[in-house]
């Protein structure tokens, strides 16, 4: 690719080829079926992810420590590491079947099979919180594998989205990603926690009390495993994948695995990409502790898991529909400008929510204020989810605009990796730090002389896990938190976020001024025009 560095600071849509594309309003005529297909594929991807996001809530109810939560959070890392196998998915495929369908269908068949196996063992591995402790090691390994498989499907779907939609509608690729995954996570997270709960079902659904909810965790997983199988078979039989950019691919007939990794290395070295991944990775440190620990802290304070799931229900339509409502801003010429404005809103909301969480123990003791309390939590969650969707849709839209279509899978994966890896790294770190910067003690009143030995033993009780808390309670003691690591981490996040807001303003402005030529590594000037006019 001939790279004219004199055009480095040309707007991303300069007059000429790009102007035609940008000035042509989005029109989904001829793309409705393709948008629906992408939504379905992203929804399927979101369901097992939603199930895995529900596991920490179930573990919290079973007395898991924050260190164990940190260990389980490692299972999310494949989405941050998928860059390592993205070039393989871009370069190896069955030509007659389809470049993207090869990996989408194969990965979904394996995911469905794996979920069938998981359905037979999930309840046993989670334990009951009393006689059987959760098997954290096995759960981590199992869901790590599941996230690995969904990451393969995600790479292929991201790459397909760049060519499946007409060029004028490419901004909708990020919208379908956000809406589809949100819908899938709603099903796998909220619906699972609500209708699996026997307490909720006995109160609101069943006329007579039952020992289980509307369905079990195992039954839920088995059902969606079957859905995976059916959709995959229909996709393989009835959806034809057009050869993408055939003439351009002929110019790179040597494109294989080795070439793919060379191209990936070339992308990483591009100056705009270096600036972009520095920005995307660093921003995750601002909100990792808030997103990872807030829900667990509410449950620790006494909010039942089914009520917490119900609190999340009103925010679900926001997650699914809000990206569609803000398409005007996220699919426009400067989506990162909108991204930057939303950042300060998220930071402000984090501060407000933290004060609200701190008041939870006091409010839960007064039954007269419970309805007002839950209404406040619902409102905060809805605003938070709207801000998160706006952030992810904005950067996703920007990624779709700058990614080289000839290596779309690898390029989109690389760009998404920055945020995923940053988020998973800082989430795991924040959970791991919680037990280490939180100071608790077991206080006992009225200790008699014959209980001196028990008192000596309990003086070293830090109420770290469920066993120590039960031991403290049995002897008549009370676990009290002297320093709560949650508020320490949030305080650090706020200070860091303000610094980030100041430092990266100029970076965001500069990123949107680069031309497409500065981002492409294979597509040349002529083929770039062809891609944009399709």
pLDDT score, position 460:
62
CB 421 within 8 A of CB 74: no
Alpha-carbon span 185 to 316, nearest angstrom? 9
Helix %, strand %, coil % of the chain (to 5):
75, 0, 25
CB 165 within 8 A of CB 175: no
| Ramachandran category for residue 438: left, alpha or beta (phi over 0 → left; psi -120 to 50 → alpha) | beta
φ and ψ of 256, to 5 deg: -145, -160
Per-residue pLDDT averaged across 397-419, rounded?
82
Q: Is 455 part of any domain?
A: no
**Of the candidates 319, 28, 324, 35, the residue with the CA atom closest to the CA atom of residue 157:** 35
Q: Is 429 part of any domain?
A: yes
Q: What's 83's domain CATH number?
A: 1.20.1250.20
Residue, of 384 and 369, whose pLDDT is higher = 384
Q: Is 494 part of any domain?
A: yes
How many residues are recorded in the chain?
Answer: 534
Q: Tokens 């309670």 — which residue?
A: 473
**Of the candidates 50, 211, 217, the residue with the CA atom closest to the CA atom of residue 126:** 217
Torsion sign, CA atoms 354, 309, 175, 331 = negative
Alpha-carbon span 148 to 211, nearest angstrom? 35
Alpha-carbon span 470 to 310, nearest angstrom? 29
Element holding 478 (H helix, E strand): strand 478-483
Domain that holds residue 370: 17-241+256-438+484-533
**Rounded mean pLDDT of the chain?**
82
Alpha-carbon span 534 to 530, nearest angstrom? 6
Joined together, the tokens standing for residue 137 give 């090691």
Joined together, the tokens standing for residue 308 give 């917490």
Per-residue pLDDT averaged across 410-421, rounded?
83
Radius of gyration for the chain, computed over Cα atoms and rounded to the nearest angstrom: 25
pLDDT score, position 405:
78
Cβ neighbours of residue 519 closer than 8 Å, sequence gap 6 or more: 270, 272, 273, 402, 403, 404
pLDDT score, position 43:
96
CB 293 within 8 A of CB 431: yes
Terminal Cα-to-Cα distance of the chain (whole angstroms): 21
Instruction: Answer whether residue 58 shows pLDDT above 50.
Output: yes
Alpha-carbon span 486 to 510, nearest angstrom? 35
Burial of 170 (0-12, 13-18, 19+ CB in 10 A): buried
Angle at 298 between CA 491 and CA 382, to 5 degrees: 85
**Of the candidates 156, 20, 39, the residue with the CA atom closest to the CA atom of residue 101:** 156
Residue, of 139 and 531, whose pLDDT is higher = 139
pLDDT score, position 475:
72
Q: Is 461 part of any domain?
A: no
pLDDT score, position 285:
94
CB atoms within 10 A of CB 185: 24
Whole-number Cα distances in Å, 9 to 5, 372, 457: 9, 52, 68
Joined together, the tokens standing for residue 164 give 């499946």
Cβ neighbours of residue 379 closer than 8 Å, sequence gap 6 or more: none
Q: Is 249 part of any domain?
A: no
Residue 533 banded pLDDT, cuts 50, 70, 90: very low
Give me the numbers of helices (H) and strands (E) for the chain, helices first please. Answer: 27, 2
Least trusted range by pLDDT, from 137-151, 224-238, 345-359, 410-424: 410-424
Count: domains in the chain: 1
CB atoms within 10 A of CB 205: 12
Joined together, the tokens standing for residue 518 give 């500065």
pLDDT score, position 254:
57
Extended beta strands in 370-470, E state: 439-443
Q: Is 261 part of any domain?
A: yes
Q: Is 10 part of any domain?
A: no
pLDDT digits (tens, 9 = 90+) for 295-339: 989 988 888 877 877 787 787 788 778 877 887 777 777 888 888
3-state secondary structure of 443: strand
Angle at 296 between CA 348 and CA 423, to 5 degrees: 60
CB 283 within 8 A of CB 424: no
Joined together, the tokens standing for residue 39 give 């939504």
Q: What global pTM score does this model have?
A: 0.74
3-state secondary structure of 41: helix
* β 478-483/439-443 pair status: antiparallel
pLDDT digits (tens, 9 = 90+) for 245-274: 544 555 555 566 787 788 888 888 999 999
CB atoms within 10 A of CB 414: 22
Joined together, the tokens standing for residue 382 give 């809805």
Alpha-carbon span 53 to 319, nearest angstrom? 15
CB atoms within 10 A of CB 222: 17
Q: What is the DSSP string of 99-153?
A: TTHHHHHHHHHHHHHHHHHHHTTHHHHH--SSSS---HHHHHHHHHHHHHHHHHH
Q: Is 66 part of any domain?
A: yes
**Beta-bridge mates of residue 443:** 478
């Amino acid at each position: 690719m001939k790279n004219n560095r004199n055009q480095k600071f040309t707007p991303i849509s300069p007059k000429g080829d790009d102007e035609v594309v940008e000035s042509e309003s989005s029109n989904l005529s001829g793309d409705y079926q393709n948008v629906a297909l992408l939504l379905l594929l992203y929804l399927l991807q979101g369901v097992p992810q939603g199930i895995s996001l529900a596991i920490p809530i179930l573990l919290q109810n079973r007395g898991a420590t924050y260190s164990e939560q940190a260990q389980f959070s490692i299972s999310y890392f494949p989405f941050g590491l998928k860059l390592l196998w993205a070039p393989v998915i871009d370069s190896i495929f069955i030509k007659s079947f389809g470049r993207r369908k090869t990996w989408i269908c194969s990965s979904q068949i394996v995911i469905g099979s794996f979920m069938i196996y998981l359905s037979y063992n999930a309840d046993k591995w989670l334990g009951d919180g009393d006689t059987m402790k959760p098997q954290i090691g096995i759960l981590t390994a199992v869901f790590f594998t599941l996230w690995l498989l969904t990451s393969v499907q995600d790479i292929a779907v991201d790459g397909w989205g760049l060519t499946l939609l007409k060029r004028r509608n490419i901004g909708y690729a990020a919208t379908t990603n956000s809406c589809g995954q949100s819908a899938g996570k709603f099903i796998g997270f909220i619906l699972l926690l609500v209708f699996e709960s026997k307490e909720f079902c006995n109160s609101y659904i069943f006329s007579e009390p039952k020992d289980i909810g509307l369905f079990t965790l195992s039954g839920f997983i088995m059902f969606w495993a079957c859905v995976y199988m059916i959709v995959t078979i229909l996709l393989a039989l009835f959806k034809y994948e057009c050869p993408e950019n055939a003439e351009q691919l002929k110019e790179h007939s040597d494109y294989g695995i080795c070439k793919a990794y060379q191209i990936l290395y070339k992308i990483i070295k591009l100056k705009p990409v270096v600036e972009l991944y520095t920005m995307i990775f660093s921003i995750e440190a601002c909100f990792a502790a808030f997103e990872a620990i807030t829900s667990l802290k509410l449950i620790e304070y006494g909010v039942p898991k089914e009520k917490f799931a119900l609190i999340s229900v009103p925010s679900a339509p926001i997650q699914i529909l809000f990206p569609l409502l803000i398409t005007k801003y996220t699919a426009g010429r400067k989506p990162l400008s909108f991204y930057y404005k939303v950042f300060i809103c998220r930071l402000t909301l984090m501060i407000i929510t933290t004060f609200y969480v701190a008041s939870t123990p006091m409010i839960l003791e007064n039954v007269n204020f419970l309805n007002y309390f839950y209404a406040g939590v619902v409102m905060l969650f809805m605003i938070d989810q709207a801000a998160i969707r706006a952030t992810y849709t904005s950067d996703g839209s920007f990624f779709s605009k700058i990614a080289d279509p000839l290596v779309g899978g690898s390029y989109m994966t690389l760009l998404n990796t920055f945020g995923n890896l940053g988020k998973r790294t800082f989430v795991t770190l924040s959970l791991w730090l919680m037990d280490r910067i939180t100071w608790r003690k077991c206080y006992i009143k009225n200790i008699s002389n014959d209980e001196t030995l028990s008192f000596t033993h309990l003086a070293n009780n830090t109420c770290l896990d469920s066993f120590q808390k039960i031991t403290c309670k049995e002897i008549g003691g009370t676990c009290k938190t002297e320093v709560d690591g949650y508020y320490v981490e949030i305080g650090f996040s706020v200070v860091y976020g303000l610094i980030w807001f100041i430092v990266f303003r100029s970076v965001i402005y500069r990123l949107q001024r680069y031309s497409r030529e500065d981002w492409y590594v294979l597509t040349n000037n002529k083929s770039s025009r062809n891609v944009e006019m399709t």
